[in-house]
Amino acid sequence: MTVKKITVKASGTYDVIIGRGLIDLCGSYVKDVTKAVKLGIITDDNVNAIYGDRAAASLEKEGFSVCRYVFPHGEASKNSETLVKIWNFLCENHFTRTDCLIALGGGVTGDMTGFAAASYLRGIDFVQIPTSLLAQVDSSVGGKTGIDLPGGKNLVGAFKQPKLVLADMDTLDTLTDEFFIDGMGEVVKYGMIKSASLFVKLGTYTAEELRKNKEALTDIIAECVSIKRDVVEADECEKGERMLLNFGHTLGHSIEQYYNYTGISHGMAVAKGMEMITSLAEKRGMCAPGLTGRLSECLEKYHLKIDVKPLPCELGEACMNDKKRSGGNINIIICSKAGVSSAVKMTVEEFTEFLKQD
C-alpha cells in the first residue's frame, strides 16, 4: 500500500501522511519537521498502553529526548484541570520554545495537546498522530484546538496548525466498532457537503466491508482530508466556507447535550443532526426531493440511523449556545443535493420556526 501525502497550506504549511506502520516510523518523519531537542508525548491511558512505547522508541531512535504525559481517556478529561497539569508537566521538564509536543491519540488528545502547544510559552510546535478514524478524517487537520467548559464543548481554544499529521491506518485495527462508526459520521458528512462521488461510493459498502478493506478505507480517508484541506485553505478561521464542515453539528451538539454526552457518540449525534436538518429542508423545498431518504440509506449502512427522544423543535434552545451563532443570527448548513452545501443565515425566530415540523 502506498503512502499518501496531502499538503495543507494555511497559516502554517504541513503534510498529512496517510499510510501503514507510521507509528514505528514516526521518529524519522518528526525529525524532518522540527529542530527540537525534547519531545513531549501527550496521550491517554488507553492509547499509551498500545502505542506509547512504540512511538517513544521510534522518536528516541532519532536522538530526541522524549517524556510522556498520560491522562485518563475520555471527553471528561478535556478540561482546564488537565490542561493545567500538562502546562505544569512541560514546565517541570523545562520545555523551551523550540521543543515540540506529540499528540498521540484521538480527538480529545489532539484538541487538548494542540491548545497546550498554542498556549505554553505563547506557542510551541506540535505534531498530530491521530489514532481514531474521527481524528484522522477531521480533528487532526485544520488547526482547531481547545478544551471543554462545563457550559459546552470546545468553548475555549485557538487556531494552531500542527507541523505534521501522521495517520497510521494500522491504528484503526484496535478501534472498537463503536469508535469506527463514530468516525464514519464525519465521513458521510464530507460526502454530503462536498462530494457526490464520495457519497455514492460510501453507499457501495457496509461498515463491516469498509473496515476490512484497508485500500478503500485509505482512499476514503485521503478524500476526506483533501476536502478538509481545500476548505481550511479557503477559510482557516471559519468566517465562511469552513462553516460547511458544521453540517449536522448544530442539532448534533444539542442532541449530545440532551443526553448529557453519555450513551450517544459525537458521530451518531451528528448523523441524526444531518438527517433532521435535511428532512426539515426537504419539507420546505430547500433540497432535492428524496435526499433525506438517500442520506438515511447511507447512514443505515454504517449503523448511524438512530432514533432519538427529542424532536427538532425541542432542540432549539440548546442550539442558542452554538459557537456558530453571530449576534442574533445562526448559520445553518443545508445540502441542496448530495455534494452541494451552503450556509443559510437565520434569525433565532426564523430558526425556531424552521425547527417546527408540519
Q: Which residues contribute to the site for ligand GLY (CB under 6 A)?
A: 138, 142, 144, 242, 245
Q: Which is nearer to ligand GLY, 4 or 144 (CB)?
A: 144
Report the alpha-carbon distance of residue 323 to residue 321 in Å, rounded. Answer: 6
Q: Which is nearer to ligand GLY, 57 or 156 (CB)?
A: 156
Residue 157: name the closest of 104, 113, 105 by CA: 113
Nearest distance from residue 266's CB to ligand GLY, in Å?
10
Report, as residue numbers or ranges, the catalytic residues. 122, 144, 186, 228, 238, 242, 246, 249, 253, 266
Q: Which is nearer to ligand GLY, 68 or 189 (CB)?
A: 189
Q: Which is nearer to ligand GLY, 62 or 235 (CB)?
A: 235
Residue 73: name the closest of 103, 102, 109, 41 by CA: 109
Residue 278: name the closest of 328, 324, 312 by CA: 312
* φ, ψ at 20 (rounded to 5°): -110, 150
Residue 138: name the closest of 292, 249, 258, 304 by CA: 249
CB-nearest residue to ligand GLY:
245
Question: What are the grid coordinates assigned to 217, written together?
Answer: 478505507
Question: What are the grid coordinates assigned to 340, written together?
Answer: 452541494
Nearest distance from residue 128's CB to ligand GLY, in Å?
12
Nearest distance from residue 338's CB to ligand GLY, in Å?
20
Nearest distance from residue 144's CB to ligand GLY, in Å?
5
- In our burial notation (b when 16+ CB lie closer than 10 A, e otherwise), range 68-98 reads bbbbebebebbeeebbeebeebbeeeebeee
Q: Which is nearer to ligand GLY, 23 or 245 (CB)?
A: 245
Nearest distance from residue 34's CB to ligand GLY, in Å?
23
Residue 42: name the closest of 98, 88, 97 by CA: 88
CA distances from 65 to 95, 208, 261 (A): 11, 41, 38
